[in-house]
Chains A and B, each alone.
Chain A
Amino acid sequence: MSPSTDSFEEIESAVVRFAGDSGDGMQTVGERFTDSSAFAGNDIATLPDFPAEIRAPAGTLAGVSGFQLQFGSRKILTPGDEPDALVAMNPAALKANIDDLPEGGMLVVNVDSFKKMNLSKAGYEKSPLEDEDFRKKYHLIELDLTSLTKEALKDSPLKPSDKARCKNFFALGFMYYVYGRPLEPTLKFFNEKWGERLPDLADANSTALRAGFNLGDTMETARNRYQVSKAPVQAGVYRKIAGNEALVYGLVAGAKQANRELLYAGYPITPASPILEGLSALKKFGVKTLQAEDEIAAMGMAIGASFAGDLSVVATSGPGMCLKSEFIGLASITELPVVIVDVQRGGPSTGLPTKTEQSDLLQSLYARHGDCPLPVLAAHSPSDCFDCAIEASRIALTYMTPVILLSDLYVANGAEPWKIPNVSELPEIKIKFADPNQELVVYKRDPQTLARTQAIPGQAGLEHRIGGLEKSEDGGVSYDPENHEKMTYLRAEKINCIAKSYEPISVQGEKSGKLLVIGWGGTYGAISSATKILQDEGFSVSSLHLRHLNPLPNDLESLLSSFEKVIVPELNLGQLSTILKAKYLCDIVSCNKVQGKPFKVAELREEFVKHLSAN
């Protein structure tokens, strides 16, 4: 059922947003649209946006769940600033999203749900669809989604209420028609998910999807069809990947490359739980997953497993990081490798648990007592989580240290196409345990990395004690003031050494000029896109996205001095810019946003232009 191409308008990219009740299956249709677009060869970026409550009262603004994606025939780095098309399943979804839809944008509404009760729950005194100005402002397509779906499924043995729930796929089918998406990946999905277990449901959803698609074909108002050609990408095998998923695979790969068993300990927390769930499903890879009694326990289990020789990992979000702090100090002083993932969300405290933010950088760098520097790195996109997980494993094992890997909700839940790496080309992590034939000196250090050697329990002749009390080089408890100072310096110097192992930093654009934009983490897409637009317009602007936030790259300082102005956009009140100012004594412009939402390309572009135009 591949659509014909005769009546298409060719466009470079499009942004589509689905919005409905949190029980309406908006995340599911968003993911299916993503898969279909990936299958069609487009580049994509997604932004799931859902409320903290699993099912807030139906029909209310609090319960609106959305999924936005951008797909295109060019490189797509963000899910798009504003939608070209909005699908609103009820009045609340309309109200919560309509301000983002530009004039002339396509608006598909489920008119069946525009009843008095739902209108009132959404705070509408009367239906906006009755307002002539409103109707003229958008390209409005009114569909009786609920009744159309029930009609399409009149022969299905499902209960009427279950039939009505297939309306999300009816709507999806309609949007597939508009954007010329292939149905095959979604039909395959239905079959794989429900084909055996609930064949009636698989059939009903397939029928609803096809009916929605066919409706588009017969409807006058849907005659504007768009075509988005394949994106020019490097040859290879691709798949769609979400951030947390990529992180899971990266951890498994890191352990394999290091020839260690992987032990993961975690406590459920949004938005890190999918890492616990993902790894728990990988027992075939020998992954041990422990669901701990709390965040502290998870960290303790990881430290114990690390002492026993596993590659141990924990993942959490901001509040969980607070709880782990004391244990992270223990891992630092005992010099044990642990990968600590913080999938950031809006804070402080419970804050905005389902919205994105980059506000745990200072916490990651400093929230421990004593002088306790640790390596910190940040993933900048869903697929980058894979590479960062391997890099974090490398640093942890090579330098015998806990490592903090920052992700964020936007990166964790977002998805993009990923060129699947060849396993045989992954970097090897060759770290040996202590040799039982040699006398063990617990804190004797490798001259290059300053890392101590790890001796694991079970080896005769290497029995030794470690712990939270300061030690001398031979592993004995030491209260000697000069020894403490020496060990504190050594631990700090060891962390500084890590920078020597980095690849040179990679700048988007010239290595000198008027404006340098420095970012980190999930703002990569927006910063890169805004920079590219301005470069194409002839402005002297370059951007740098830092993966390593501690220690900072050794080649950063000279780059900073090669630009007239440096701007640091962050989804916090200026955490990286504070660090850069303190470390390099340079002038930095902060550009901040803390609304639980990612930067829009347009707002960054506007901000950059302001600094490029100023003298």
Chain B
Amino acid sequence: MSTTTEESTLTKKDFVTTNDVRWCPGCGDYAILNAVQRTLPELGVPKEKFVVVSGIGCSSRFPYYMNTYGFHTIHGRAPTVATGVKVANPDLSVWMITGDGDGLSIGANHLLHLLRRNLDINVLLFNNRIYGLTKGQYSPTSEVGKKTKSTPAGSVDYPVNPLLFALGSEATFIARTTDTDQKHMVETFKAAQAHKGTSFVEVFQNCVIFNNKTFDSVTGRDVRNDQVMLLEEGKPLVYGDGGTKGIRLKGLNLETVDLDEGSNTEDLLVHNPKDPNPAYATLLAQMTFPTYPTPLGILRQLEGRETYEDSVVGQIQLAQAEGEGSLQELLTGNNSWIVES
């Protein structure tokens, strides 16, 4: 997103509605809501320009809790409504909220097309790897073998990797953050807004009732230093307490290396989200627990591809360069004839 106007005096409070927030106590969605409400006042965008569009699911109740224009649509179809809003008025800052079921199961088709069209929309996909609102069936991001109410013997579905999905759709901005890190969420959401084009952000989100602690092995307080790798542009890929480990290329694969005191970090990969070749971001997207640390941050950020709405408006402006069409001439056409009285 790149809608910027003069400095505003908005605060988080301006984005809070009087509605009771009805997520389960302890749900990760509260943290994400808080981060979004902290992000929006800092973007320099007037409040009335924000539109929050969602599908169906726990995450998709989000618009009701944001004091902006909002549209809670139907299951999986938020990308289409968001597209209509943005093309009708490209001046609006459109934020789309979806979940792993909404965005990657029933609505995966629409998400694919939103990403490839590159509308200037921010997509936040809350991934809790479970269907929460329908009370606990496995989702398209649940791991194989997952035992849920609908899979008592374990899920046999191979899961979707949201980041690979976005890469396959050639999204121009792909990032990941977690509901356990307010600062990182706010930074990531701001970067998403700053990007001109569709920004896809996967947010690890804990479902306290049906899939509690699903990300604890990665983002839990006690392990995150060892299991999370924060991506920073221009910096080598390091992780571990104080940067004790790094990532380098071995053939066409990644390997982890222990960095002893004073050891050579020159052969470590340096993070470049702007690499036009998707191979690097693909390697990052495939890094999974327990073999690799889990990368958080901006994996890919490509600039220069025109947004869909700019192209649509551009064609109209070009056609109207010499004035708008005359309806009377259109109706009359080239082959009219006159009947005398």
Q: Which residues of A contact B (CB under 8 A)?
A: 35, 38-39, 41, 185, 188, 192, 233-240, 249, 252-253, 256, 261, 263, 265, 282-288, 290, 292-294, 296-310, 312, 326-327, 330, 334, 420-423, 456-469, 476-477
Contact = CB atoms under 8 A, between A and B. Distances in A.
Given A235-B339, A297-B77, A463-B68, A256 B327 contact: yes
A309 B90 CA distance: 12
A144 B107 CA distance: 59
Interface of B: 17, 19, 46-49, 51, 53, 56, 63-64, 66-74, 77, 79-89, 91-92, 109-110, 112-113, 312-313, 315-316, 318-320, 324-325, 327-328, 330-341
A29 to B, nearest CB: 16
Nearest to B112: A293
A301 B84 contact: yes
Nearest to A35: B335
Given A422-B328, A467-B73, 12 more contacts: A192-B334, A236-B338, A237-B336, A282-B330, A283-B316, A286-B316, A288-B87, A304-B87, A327-B77, A334-B71, A458-B92, A463-B69
B49 A465 contact: no
A307 B315 CA distance: 23
A456 B49 CA distance: 10
A113 to B, nearest CB: 32
A462 B63 CA distance: 15
A234 B338 CA distance: 10
Contacts of B341: 235
12 contacts: A192-B334, A239-B333, A288-B316, A296-B80, A300-B77, A304-B80, A305-B84, A420-B332, A457-B49, A463-B68, A465-B69, A468-B56
B48 A459 contact: yes
A477 B72 CA distance: 11
Given A235-B340, A237-B338, A239-B336, A285 B77 contact: no
A285 B324 contact: yes
Nearest to B49: A458
Contacts of A283: 315-316, 318-320
A142 B25 CA distance: 87
Contact of B73 (A306, A464, A468): A468
Per CB-CB distance, the 4 closest pairs between chain A and chain B, nearest first, are A304-B84, A300-B80, A467-B72, A235-B341
Nearest to B116: A293
B113 A303 contact: no
A297 B116 CA distance: 15
A400 B336 CA distance: 37
A307 B89 CA distance: 10
Contacts of A298: 80
Given A35-B335, A235-B340, A261 B84 contact: no
A327 B80 CA distance: 11
Contacts of B316: 283, 286-288
A463 B50 CA distance: 9
Nearest to A304: B84
A197 B114 CA distance: 38
A467 B336 CA distance: 47
A477 B19 contact: yes
Contacts of A461: 48
Contacts of A233: 339
Nearest to B327: A423
B335 A301 contact: no
B48 A457 contact: yes
Given A239-B337, A283-B320, A460-B46, A249 B80 contact: no
A466 B71 contact: yes
Nearest to B52: A465
Contacts of A466: 70-72
Contact of B113 (A252, A293, A469): A293
A28 to B, nearest CB: 15
Contacts of B336: 237-239, 420
Given A238-B339, A301-B83, A261 B88 contact: yes
A312 B87 CA distance: 11
A531 to B, nearest CB: 26
B130 to A, nearest CB: 22
Nearest to A38: B337
Given A301-B83, A459-B48, A420 B74 contact: no
Contacts of A464: 69-70
A588 B68 CA distance: 53
Contact of B89 (A234, A457, A465): A457
B81 A476 contact: no
A308 B66 CA distance: 18
Contacts of B69: 457, 463-465
A293 B71 contact: no
B80 A301 contact: yes
Among B71, B72, B333, the one with the most A-chain Cβ atoms within 10 Å of its Cβ is: B71
Contacts of A423: 327-328, 331
Contacts of B47: 460, 463
A285 B327 contact: yes
Contacts of B325: 282, 284-285
A239 B332 contact: yes
Contacts of B337: 38-39, 41, 237-239
Contacts of A310: 88
